[in-house]
Amino acid sequence: MRKNIVAGNWKMNNDLAQTETLITDLKAQTQTSNAEVMIAPTATNLWQAYQTLKDTSGIEVIAQNMHFAENGAYTGEVSAAMLKSVGVTTVILGHSERREYFNETDALLAKKVDAALANDMRTIFCFGEELADRKAGNEEAVVEAQIKNALFHLGADAFKNIVLAYEPVWAIGTGETASPEQAQDMHAFIRKTLADTYGAEVADNMSILYGGSVKPANAQEIFSKPDVDGGLIGGAALKATDFYAIVNAF
């Protein structure tokens, strides 16, 4: 079923003590919306975050990345099984920072998505065009290719465990957001792309999040659009009051 989701991507911020402080602050907030709430701390702090939040909070602890292999000679990497062993069952894959700084390609991401699904993990799959693509009017073609190359080998059933996150690269960490209309147009295009291949049911049930400089001041307008089902929040997720102002914007 299509759900509203607000997920905080902490990126490479917050050591263990800072993670504990932010989680304490998050637990002190009141949720008035029906959104599912998730936070993605750095890998070293997932277990502690999971232990602190698992029973009462309604906040799911998720991972920012994982490797496609079950285990083996991949120095520095973390597998799906390892994430599951610390209570994590949702993983962000395909973030533009992973694509840009770690050379993650559509083909690699297809393998990661397969590994997540094989381990019964939910994937928040990220994609989005760069500024040059948008200036050239190619944003839909770029997004369509990213989605198709990494996901369209899957059967329809697999999409129950996938959430899509449209994050235009030019809006990430820049203070510049896509306008609510730009977000809506792209989300509608993504839903149509899904519907064309997998049918209306898969498309209608898909949660499509927007990411890129979402703040308390602009969240409500973006979330009011019919095809925007939530947000993937970077900078504003690092302050509990800002994050919950966004969570409660639904």
Residue nearer to ligand 13P on the CB measure, 80 or 232: 232
Report yes or no: 106 and 149 within 8 Å, Cβ to Cβ.
yes
User: If you search the block for the tokens 């996150």, which residue do you land on?
Assistant: 165
Indicate which residue of 36, 60, 104, 167 is catalytic. Answer: 167
Q: Which is nearer to ligand 13P, 9 or 89 (CB)?
A: 9
The two tokens of residue 247 are 């969570």
Between CA 248 and CA 240 the distance in angstroms is 12
Q: Is 153 a catalytic residue?
A: no
- Length of the chain, please? 250
From the CB of 128, what's the least distance to ligand 13P, in Å? 9
Least CB distance from residue 64 to ligand 13P, whole Å?
9
Q: Could you tell me where the DSSP H helices lie in the chain? A: 16-27, 46-53, 80-85, 96-101, 106-118, 131-135, 139-151, 180-198, 200-205, 216-223, 240-247
Closest approach, Cβ 180 to ligand 13P, in A, equals: 16
Query: 27 vs 239, which CB is nearer to ligand 13P?
Result: 239
Nearer to ligand 13P, 41 or 234 (CB): 234
The DSSP output letter for 123 is E
Do β-strands 59-61 and 36-40 pair in parallel, antiparallel, or remain unpaired? parallel
The site for ligand 13P (CB under 6 A) is made up of: 9, 95, 167, 172-173, 211-214, 232-236
Nearest Cα residue to 86 out of 118, 60, 67: 60
- Could you give the CA distance from residue 122 to residue 216 in angstroms, rounded to a whole number? 27
Minimum distance between the CB of residue 132 and ligand 13P, rounded to whole angstroms? 18
155 vs 175, which CB is nearer to ligand 13P? 175
Question: Which residue in the list 36, 95, 97, 129 is annotated as catalytic?
Answer: 95
Long-range (24+ apart) CB contacts under 8 A made by 14-21 are: 14/41, 14/42, 14/45, 14/238, 15/45, 16/44, 16/45, 16/48, 19/45, 19/48, 19/49, 20/48, 20/52
User: Is 167 a known active-site residue?
Assistant: yes
Q: How far is the CB of 116 from ligand 13P (least distance, A)?
A: 17
Least distance in angstroms from the C-beta of 183 to ligand 13P: 13
Whether the Cβ atoms of residue 78 and residue 88 lie closer than 8 Å to each other: no
Residue closer to ligand 13P, measured from CB, 151 or 236: 236
Q: Which residues are catalytic?
A: 95, 167
